[in-house]
């Protein structure tokens, strides 16, 4: 029974570790319950191998999207009308902000 409880606590801590990782990634508020579960399990808590692989793949995909090549591919996938609309919206926002700040305009 003690071994089963220890294994269950370990699994709960691993899940909590994954939730903490996801909260950090998506900038969500922290949960004290997860942190308490990790502390109760001790220092030997980590993600299981299959979850580590998934996290590594997610990080690689995010890095690819953030890179210059990823941004260029996103631009290629967008149509020119969308790009023009975004540029015009940004220009009009900047113009409105300048008009509010400057009485001469």
Lowest mean pLDDT among 7-16, 17-26, 73-82: 73-82
Look up the pTM and report it.
0.47
Residue 65 pLDDT greater than 70, yes or no: no
For the chain, give every domain's residue range.
1-103
Specify the DSSP class assigned to residue 30: P
pLDDT of residue 1: 93
């Amino acid at each position: 029974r003690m071994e089963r409880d220890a294994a269950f606590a370990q699994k709960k801590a691993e899940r909590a570790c994954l939730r903490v990782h996801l909260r950090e990634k998506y900038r969500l508020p922290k949960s004290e319950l997860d942190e308490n579960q990790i502390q109760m399990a001790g220092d030997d808590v980590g993600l299981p191998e299959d979850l580590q692989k998934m996290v590594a793949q997610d990080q690689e995909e995010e890095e690819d999207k953030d890179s210059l090549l990823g941004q260029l591919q996103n631009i290629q996938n967008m149509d020119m009308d969308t790009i023009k609309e975004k540029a015009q919206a940004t220009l009009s926002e900047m113009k409105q902000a300048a008009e509010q700040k400057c009485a001469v305009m």
